[in-house]
């Protein structure tokens, strides 16, 4: 799989000691590549446990992402985003890029991932959607066939619950994740019934 973007990963402990230990990591990345990079910069989980991202290089593809990503992003989530982007059809990629340009629902990496998932499923307005006050309603977001896409409400509720109020029980988290997967499948089928 070709690299979509690159992040400069820096050892935080060494950085605070005045030593610059950093290397670029291309995404999507294999677990072996991540482990090799962490070993190379000295993040061993014993003496040095933390890293941060000093910069991103998008190589002209989706430069809008640079404003959405911070220095403390999860490497797993960045990899997940890269995999989602690499699987996108060209027209979905264009819609996703347009939504990023508008700056709607892109204040965090989780927002970008959720937006890419909904865009891939063909749900919502093609140019994105923004909540700017109390006037926006679900039917503003779900413009085509509202009965088929009413599941978006439950889907978003569960995604937001996992982000901001995760249950303590791993069994409940697993159950919610299974429900989210089912909702994603159902939304995908509703958007593209074939």
pLDDT of residue 166: 77
Q: Beta-carbon neighbour count of residue 163 at 10 Å?
A: 12
Supply the pLDDT for residue 146. 61
Burial of 151 (0-12, 13-18, 19+ CB in 10 A): middle
Closest CA to 24 of 49, 51, 47: 51
Spatial CA neighbour of 77 closest among 53, 44, 105:
53
Angstrom distance (rounded) from CA 84 to CA 63: 17
How many of the other CB atoms lie within 10 Å of CB of 82? 19
Contact between 176 and 162 (Cβ < 8 Å): yes
pLDDT of residue 100: 66
ω before 28 within 30° of 0 (cis)? Answer: yes
> Averaged over 104-111, what is the pLDDT?
55
Tell me the β-bridge partners of 10: 22, 52
80 burial level (CB within 10 Å; 0-12, 13-18, 19+) = middle
Backbone angles phi, psi at 66, to 5 degrees: -60, -30
- Structure token pair of residue 179: 């429900």
**pTM of the predicted structure, to 2 decimals:** 0.57
**pLDDT tens-digit series, residues 46-102:** 889 899 999 999 887 777 777 778 888 889 888 888 888 888 777 777 767 766 665
Write out the two tokens for 170: 């791993």
Which of 39-48, 132-141, 151-160, 184-193 reaches the highest mean pLDDT? 39-48
């Amino acid at each position: 799989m070709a690299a979509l973007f690159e992040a400069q990963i820096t050892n935080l402990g060494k950085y605070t000691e005045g030593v610059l230990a950093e290397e670029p990591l291309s995404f999507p990345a294999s677990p072996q590549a991540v482990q090799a990079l962490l070993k190379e910069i000295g993040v061993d989980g014993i003496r040095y446990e933390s890293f941060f991202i000093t910069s991103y290089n998008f190589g002209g593809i989706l430069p809008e992402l640079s404003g959405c990503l911070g220095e403390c992003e999860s490497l797993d989530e960045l990899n997940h985003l890269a995999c989602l982007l690499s699987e996108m059809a060209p027209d979905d990629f264009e819609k996703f890029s347009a939504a990023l340009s508008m700056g709607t629902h892109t204040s965090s990496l989780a927002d970008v991932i959720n937006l890419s998932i909904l865009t891939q499923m063909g749900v919502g307005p093609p140019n994105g959607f923004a909540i700017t006050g109390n006037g926006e309603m679900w039917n503003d977001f779900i413009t085509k066939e509202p009965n088929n896409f009413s599941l978006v409400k439950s889907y978003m509720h569960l995604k937001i619950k996992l982000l901001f109020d995760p249950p303590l029980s791993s069994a409940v988290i697993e159950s919610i994740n299974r429900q989210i997967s089912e909702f994603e499948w159902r939304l995908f089928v509703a958007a593209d019934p074939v």
